[in-house]
Amino acid sequence: MGSMVTAIVMVQAERQRIQETAEALAGVPGVREVYSVTGEWDIVAVLKLDRYDDLDDVVTGHLRKVDGIVRTQTMLAFRTYSEALLDQGFGVGLDESRLS
């Protein structure tokens, strides 16, 4: 199997429906991870797809039909760095001594 296509979709959701919108997104085929985040966007979904053409099916065919979504912005990843480095990125700002 060749490289997978990775896309990141930022989602603004209706304030009272953020949790159920995130849960619905997590059930969409091709959505690998869903995060609740701070800032302008409420939810970030990471998509891993077999083919570039699948992006339209997932974003247009599935994500736009999820209740509670107000607005989305999709970014297509063009380079992947080491998974270990990516894991470290999500720990930024966390005091690991407080996690145990």
- Which among 45, 24, 21, 49 is positioned nearest to 34, based on CA atoms? 45
Query: By C-alpha distance, which of 98, 95, 90, 99 is closest to 33?
Result: 90
Residue 45 confidence (pLDDT): 96
Query: Comparing C-alpha atoms, which of 30, 79, 67 is closest to residue 9?
Result: 30
For residue 7 the two structure tokens come to 């896309």
pLDDT tens column, 11-70: 999 999 999 999 999 999 999 999 999 999 999 999 999 999 999 999 988 988 999 999
Please name the amino acid found at residue 48.
Answer: K
CATH code for the structural domain at 5-80? 3.30.70.920
Under 8 Å between Cβ of 56 and 64: no
What gap in Å lies between CA 43 and CA 37, rounded to an integer? 6
Highest mean pLDDT among 4-8, 16-20, 59-63, 78-82: 16-20
The whole-number pLDDT of residue 3 equals 77
What are the domain boundaries of the chain? 5-80
Q: What is the pTM of this model?
A: 0.78
